[in-house]
Amino acid sequence: MDLQNAWSVASKDFEIFKRRKGVLYATIAFPLGIALGFPGVLVAIESVAGPGTISASVAPFLNAFSFWYVIGAASLPTGIASYSIVGEKVQKSLEPLLATPMTDSEILLGKSIASFVPPIAAIWASSVVFMVLMDLITHAGLGYLYYPNWSFGVILLVLAPLASILSIELTVILSARANDVRSVQQFTGVMFFPFLIIYVMTEIGVIQLTTINLLIMSGIFLVIDLLLFYLSTKTFKREEILTRWK
Amino acid sequence: MIDAENLTRKFGDLTAVDNLTLHVNEGEIFGFLGPNGAGKTTTVRMLACLISKTSGTAKIGDYEIGNRADQQKIRRIIGLVPDNVGLYEELTAYKNLDFYGRYYKVDEAKRRERIEYFLKLLGLWEKRDLAAGTFSKGMKQKLAIARALIHDPQLLFMDEPTANLDPEASKTVRDFILDLKKEKKTIFLNTHNLDEAQRICDRIAILNTKLMALGTPAELERSISGRKTVVQLESVNDAIVSAARRVGMGNVEAVEGNKLMIGVDNPEKDNPDILNAIFAAGGRIQFVTEASSTLEDVYLKLVRSQ
Q: What is the pLDDT of residue A125?
A: 95
Closest among B198, B256, B203, B205 to B228, alpha carbons compared: B256
Tell me how far apart the alpha carbons of residues B224 and B205 are, in angstroms, rounded to a whole number: 14
Tell me how far apart the alpha carbons of residues B85 and A28 are, in angstroms, rounded to a whole number: 33
Q: What is the pLDDT of residue A10?
A: 93
| Mean pLDDT by groups of 10 residues along chain B of 306 residues | 93 92 94 89 93 94 89 93 90 96 94 94 91 91 93 93 82 88 92 86 91 86 74 87 72 78 82 87 88 74 72
| Chain A residue closest in CA terms to B52 | A239
Q: Which residue of A16, A100, A101 is in closest CB contact with B90?
A: A16
Residues 19-38 of A with CB under 8 A from B: 19-20
B130 contact A CB<8A: no
Tell me how far apart the alpha carbons of residues B179 and B8 are, in angstroms, rounded to a whole number: 33
The residue ranges of DSSP E strands in chain B, in sequence order, are: 2-11, 14-24, 29-33, 55-60, 63-64, 78-81, 155-159, 186-191, 203-208, 210-215, 227-233, 251-256, 259-264, 285-291
Answer yes or no: are the C-beta atoms of B292 and B267 closer than 8 Å: no
Residue A205: what are its φ and ψ, rounded to 5°? 85, 10
B104 contact A CB<8A: yes
| pTM, to two decimals | 0.81
What b/e string do you get for B288-301 counting C-beta neighbours within 10 Å, with b at 16 or more? beeebbebeebbeb
Residue B30: what are its φ and ψ, rounded to 5°? -110, 115
Chain B positions touching A97 (Cβ under 8 A) are 86, 103
- Specify the pairing of strand B186-191 against strand B29-33: parallel
Tell me how far apart the alpha carbons of residues A136 and A38 are, in angstroms, rounded to a whole number: 13
- The segments of chain A whose pLDDT lies below 50 read none
The answer to whether B86 contacts A19, with C-beta atoms less than 8 Å apart, is no
Chain A positions touching B147 (Cβ under 8 A) are 96
The answer to whether B99 contacts A95, with C-beta atoms less than 8 Å apart, is no
Q: Which residue of B82, B87, B102 is in closest CB contact with A8?
A: B102
Mutation target for B interface from A11, A243, A244, A245: give the one with most B CBs within 10 A.
A243
Closest among B301, B109, B90 to B212, alpha carbons compared: B301
- Per-residue DSSP letter, B10: E
